[in-house]
Amino acid sequence: MMNKLLLRLALFILPVIFLIIGINFQRTWFSGDPEYAYLLNGINIANLKAVGHTDNPGTPTQIFSAVVLRVAHFLDFSEKSNLQENVLRHPDQFVELERKTLIMLNALMMFLLGLGSFLLLRNIWFSLILQATPFISSNLLEIAFTKVSPEPVLIFTVMALVLVILKYYLDYAKNGRYYPWIFSIIIGFGLASKATFLPLVLLPLWLLQTRKHRITYLVSIIPSFILFTAPAIPQYPHMAKWFLGLSTHTGTYGQGSSGIIDFSTYFNNLPLIVINNPAMSVSILIAIVLIGISIGIGRLRKHSIPLPVRFLIGIATVQLLAILMVAKHYHANHYLIPAISLTGILWIFSILVIKELIGDKPLVPHAFLAPVVLVVLLLFGISNRKYLSEAYHGYVITNEEYANVKGRLDSEFPGYLKTYYYPVSINPYSALRWGNVYSRQLHLDALNKLYPEGVFYDTRTNQFQVWESALPIQDLATEYGQKILLIGGPMTDSDKDRVIKGGLSLNEIYRGRTQAIYEVDVANSAIFQGIGEAPIWKVDCNADSLSHDKKFFLSGNFSFQNNDNQTAEKVRSGSYSVKLSYRDSYAMGIEIDSINPGQKFRFTAWRLGGDGTAFLVAASGNKDGFYVQNSESIITDNSGWEKVILEITIPPTFTEGAIKFYLWNNGDSVVYFDDLLLERIR
């Protein structure tokens, strides 16, 4: 009785170690990629809205996020705001809650894996080998301890798959009709979490013994995948395009030249994978040797392949296929987490095959095989201690530097405009913007209201922005003069050169490990030059004059599109203005041809109403091409009309030749515009 109790207590040891280390591990505060994409898409799902990030696809992680957010918000009886506002006010607290919840789920699943496998196999050493598997990879542990992403979800998904495989192995009734369904649910869930799970699809297909079961399994994966990606169904076309790009281009994230594989890169990556994953690599090599010996002996004796060998072949093949797949785009080791997580069960079947080969020969220490394997795996785990200690220290000093820089900004630079270098910045504003971009911009209105100080400099468009709205250079210079800071990660020479080419001159104030502060030299920045100079041409329109067919507003030789927007209800000058009365309402479109890189335009209009959700827009015809908008206003006249200015500089990469300027109401309240002015500055 005491021995059984001690055995079961032993199954708590590794899960508790995993839990204690993980809960107390550090992570980078305000790490936007990928945590905030999952956080803000979690808000989407919690509010029954579609998600905007489907590249992994990652939907189960987003559903997990939604459940955690809903429960936490429900239990916070002191919180009076809605869920969206609550999460956006305290984003990193919720990311931390999700991180710790994932660690607890994986620790619980680790214990259940040990207990379940012990009840099935009646071998405590096998159970401990399975529980030791996460410890063999430093990268797996770091990801599990620090990230809210699909990888921690895949860890417990593989654990669940391992339990089902063991149950199937020991079941005499392998033709039970429920196995294909159970396998399809787990595999569909894994595929919905991340495409790196794809090689594991073949494992049940290999193990299932009848054609009917294999067909049932394969067909059932489809509804399983759809179920676990239900919030992403509207994004299926984008998802398909994304994965097509990954498979048909040689570079990462669908970039690079067309083709399946860049062979020089591919064959350089294969040895790197082996070196970076020694425990898994050695385990696969030993399994291959055992498979070869078993098949050779079986042929000599005219025996069929023993069941343990069949299972070992399936697991080793899946791990090899995962390595071959990841080698195509190997730039991060966490893509191998599903394969690494199979190492424990690979060893269980390796031991079973060894016992099949040895048989009942004397002097062969059967009982010591599993303990020796466990000790070796634990030694691999202990060898990861230095890496994890250094990683932990790195997260600590990163957070300390952020806190120190924030304190310095608050104390030494009062009255300065603090802009954040996007997207390479570690701060709450950049993290929230990253998450909002990847959640269909559904939180933009709330972010504008909660964080009006969220100002960025986006090097992709050479624009100062409040969230997604461009800020006019003229107003910035008038309001702040020389008091403009650029804050973000330390720039490399190429980064700084790109910013300088974009028109900014910078003076470095502080440069640290992950944070930097630059002062914008307004007087010597090309982007600020020419403020107040006479435009090359300009056209103004107060919405009073219509063409004979009433399809256009007229101003000299220019015409602005009329979408039945003319009204006399609210007027700033003249007799009429334009009225945009509902969401996705457009007005005053004008297309300017002969657009060339380097040209600069200023689009101005006076706005009344709209709750800040009515924009001035400049866009090219290509939906994925040039697009800039602004809804922010600094100047308001005595009648409540706000002056909105959109300034754009055509980037060097622009090749489309035409830009359309127009007004857009993205809100549900009525908005009026009057006194439009479009100028070409240079």
Residue 616: closest CA among 558, 564, 655, 666: 666
| Low-confidence winner among 8-17, 107-116, 313-322 (lowest mean pLDDT) | 8-17
d(CA 538, CA 601) in angstroms, rounded, equals 10
Confidence class of residue 663 from pLDDT cuts 50, 70 and 90?
A: very high
| Low-confidence winner among 134-148, 204-218, 231-245, 358-372 (lowest mean pLDDT) | 358-372
CATH of the domain at 554: 2.60.120.260
Who's near 53: CB < 8 A, 6+ residues apart? Answer: 37, 38, 41, 62, 438, 439
Domain count, the chain: 2
User: Is the confidence at residue 1, as pLDDT, over 60?
Assistant: no
**Per-residue confidence (pLDDT) for residue 575, from 0 to 100:** 92
Token digits of residue 10: 């032993």
Residue 645 φ then ψ, to 5°: -125, 130
Residue 579 shares a structural domain with residue 674: yes
d(CA 153, CA 19) in angstroms, rounded, equals 15
User: Is the confidence at residue 362, as pLDDT, over 60?
Assistant: no
Q: In the 8-state DSSP scheme, what is residue 32?
A: I
**Per-residue confidence (pLDDT) for residue 114, from 0 to 100:** 96
**Model confidence over 162-215: pLDDT tens digits?**
999 999 999 987 777 899 999 999 999 999 999 999 999 999 999 999 999 999
End-to-end CA distance of the chain: 88
Residue 426 shares a structural domain with residue 487: yes
- State which of 508, 528, 548 marks the end of a domain: 528
Residue 544 shares a structural domain with residue 658: yes
Token digits of residue 248: 């048909």
Sign, CA torsion 212/215/218/219: negative
In a domain, 399, yes or no: no
User: Is the confidence at residue 2, as pLDDT, over 60?
Assistant: no
Confidence class of residue 622 from pLDDT cuts 50, 70 and 90?
A: confident
Residue 600 shares a structural domain with residue 485: no
Residue 658 shares a structural domain with residue 559: yes
Q: In the 8-state DSSP scheme, what is residue 277?
A: -
**Model confidence over 394-440: pLDDT tens digits?**
999 999 999 999 999 999 999 999 999 887 789 999 999 999 999 98
Q: Please report how many Cα atoms fall inside a 13 Å half-sphere around the Cα of residue 243, on the Cβ side.
A: 15
User: Is the confidence at residue 487, as pLDDT, over 60?
Assistant: yes
Q: Are 662 and 606 in contact (CB under 8 A)?
A: no
Q: In the 8-state DSSP scheme, what is residue 546?
A: B
As a whole number, mean pLDDT of residues 551-571 equals 89
User: Is the confidence at residue 607, as pLDDT, over 60?
Assistant: yes
**Per-residue confidence (pLDDT) for residue 655, from 0 to 100:** 83
Burial 626-655 (b: 16+ CB within 10 A, else e): bebbbbbbeeeeeeebbbbbbbbbbeeebe
Task: Report which of residues 192 and 453 the model is more confident about.
Answer: 192
Residue 544 shares a structural domain with residue 671: yes
Residue 523 shares a structural domain with residue 569: no
Confidence class of residue 363 from pLDDT cuts 50, 70 and 90?
A: very low
**What is the SS3 assignment for 123?**
coil
User: Is the confidence at residue 366, as pLDDT, over 70?
Assistant: no
Residue 450 shares a structural domain with residue 492: yes
**Per-residue confidence (pLDDT) for residue 624, from 0 to 100:** 66
User: Is the confidence at residue 242, as pLDDT, over 90?
Assistant: no
User: Is the confidence at residue 532, as pLDDT, over 80?
Assistant: no
User: Is the confidence at residue 84, as pLDDT, over 90?
Assistant: yes
Q: What is the CA radius of gyration of the chain?
A: 30
Residue 139: closest CA among 315, 283, 339: 339
Residue 441 shares a structural domain with residue 516: yes
Q: Which residues are paired to 616 by β-bridges?
A: 630, 663
Task: Report which of residues 472 and 505 the model is more confident about.
Answer: 505
Q: Are 641 and 608 in contact (CB under 8 A)?
A: yes
Residue 519 shares a structural domain with residue 445: yes
User: Is the confidence at residue 367, as pLDDT, over 90?
Assistant: no
**Model confidence over 573-588: pLDDT tens digits?**
999 999 998 776 889 9
| Low-confidence winner among 33-47, 257-271, 296-310, 387-401 (lowest mean pLDDT) | 296-310
**Per-residue confidence (pLDDT) for residue 495, from 0 to 100:** 83
User: Is the confidence at residue 58, as pLDDT, over 80?
Assistant: yes
User: Is the confidence at residue 30, as pLDDT, over 70?
Assistant: yes
- State which of 528, 563, 592 marks the end of a domain: 528
As a whole number, mean pLDDT of residues 650-667 equals 87
Q: Are 585 and 670 in contact (CB under 8 A)?
A: no
**Model confidence over 40-57: pLDDT tens digits?**
999 999 999 999 999 899
In a domain, 111, yes or no: no
Q: Which residues are paired to 620 by β-bridges?
A: none
Expressed in percent and rounded to 5, the helix, strand and coil fractions of the chain are 55, 15, 30
In a domain, 467, yes or no: yes
- State which of 472, 498, 528 marks the end of a domain: 528
Q: Are 136 and 280 in contact (CB under 8 A)?
A: yes
**Per-residue confidence (pLDDT) for residue 300, from 0 to 100:** 65
In a domain, 331, yes or no: no
Confidence class of residue 304 from pLDDT cuts 50, 70 and 90?
A: confident
**Model confidence over 117-132: pLDDT tens digits?**
999 998 999 999 999 9
Residue 106: closest CA among 159, 35, 166, 143: 159
Residue 567 shares a structural domain with residue 640: yes
Tell me, what amino acid is at 154?
L
Residue 499 shares a structural domain with residue 607: no
In a domain, 253, yes or no: no
Average pLDDT of the chain, as a whole number? 90
In a domain, 512, yes or no: yes
Q: Are 11 and 118 in contact (CB under 8 A)?
A: yes
Token digits of residue 659: 């830009």
**Per-residue confidence (pLDDT) for residue 474, from 0 to 100:** 75
In a domain, 523, yes or no: yes
By residue range, what is the domain housing residue 486? Answer: 413-528
**Per-residue confidence (pLDDT) for residue 433, from 0 to 100:** 94
In a domain, 579, yes or no: yes
d(CA 656, CA 629) in angstroms, rounded, equals 18
